[in-house]
Amino acid sequence: MPVKKHSPVTPGLRTRMSNTFTEVTTDKPEKSLLAPLKKSGGRSRTGKMTMRNRGGGHKRRYRVIDFRRDKEGMAATVKTIEYDPNRTAFIALLEYTDGEKRYIIAPDGLKVGDEVQSGKGVAPVTGNAMYLSEIPLGATLHAIEMRPGKGASLARSAGTYGVLMGREGKYAIVKLPSGEVRRVLQTCKATIGTTSNADHGLVVLGKAGRKRWLGRRPRVRGVAMNPVDHPMGGGEGRASGGHPRSRNGQAAKGLKTRKPKKFSDKMIISRKKKRK
């Protein structure tokens, strides 16, 4: 999926880099797979702002995605590749031989008319959902389950994928997009291939208004605030603000927030890559 640069006809277009959406085949979603999506504006049920810089944005409807891929032993044909406003990757509409329609996360390279399946004994082809016990070593995966039957929870965003490194007893060893190497039960499912829209990270919005359309309000830097409003605020002139930290005083840039004795630590073989 390439991105395009615009002629600077307006100030907002000067730096804008947008998606060409060449993979998308329709702009009309399947009505039977739509659900309402209520916005909170960053407020809790008591009406207090618990998440800052959120609010507004274009109205959306949720696309019900089949993360379980539990319709086994039945082939499905890809009808459309669609844009989903609720996620970075594209989605694909499948129609099964019995007439049922479902959305899945679209893998890179999946086209209208392709056939996909899920379950035991299916071929390791792009778009097929297989158990980790049957996937060949070295294969690229996405939409990986962490618990059997729970549904995909790993490698779902645009351009991400995991790699099946090996097997160890009842576990498969999977390298995740973060660089973390982890044990996952072989009875869990994963989909073959890489998620679509790999160039999503190259998109440049170009103007503040596009950020507002996405439901994000302006964010004020801590060093620009007063001392009463932020730990990094105040000072004479353009002061740097001291040690980087959040509004509530939690240190940033390197502080580990993961629990030191988390129950799933035994599943992790090597940690994710550190930021340089």
Q: What is the rounded average pLDDT for all residues in the chain?
A: 95
Token reading at 191: 């989909």
Sorted by where each starts, the structural domains of the chain and their CATH numbers stand as: 3-40+57-200+259-270 (2.40.50.140)
pLDDT surpassing 90 at residue 211:
yes
Predicted local confidence at residue 20, as pLDDT: 95
Q: What CA–CA distance (Å, rounded) separates 136 from 209?
A: 46
Angle, alpha carbons 218-220-221 (nearest 5°): 140
The per-residue pLDDT for range 142-181, each reduced to its tens digit, is 999 999 999 999 999 999 999 999 999 999 999 999 999 9
Q: What CA–CA distance (Å, rounded) separates 104 from 117?
A: 12
Exposure class string for 176-197: b at 16+ Cβ within 10 A, else e: bbeebbbbbbbebbbbbbbbbb
Q: What is the distance of C-alpha 165 from the center of its chain?
A: 22
Q: What is the pTM of this model?
A: 0.92
Query: Order of strands, edge to edge, in the sheet holding 129-131?
Result: 129-131, 189-192, 140-142, 162-168, 171-175, 181-185, 268-270
Token reading at 164: 């099946």
Q: How many CB atoms lie under 10 A from the CB of residue 95?
A: 15
Predicted local confidence at residue 275, as pLDDT: 65
Predicted local confidence at residue 272, as pLDDT: 83
**Rounded to whole angstroms, what are the CA distances from 8 to 12, 19, 205?**
8, 17, 14
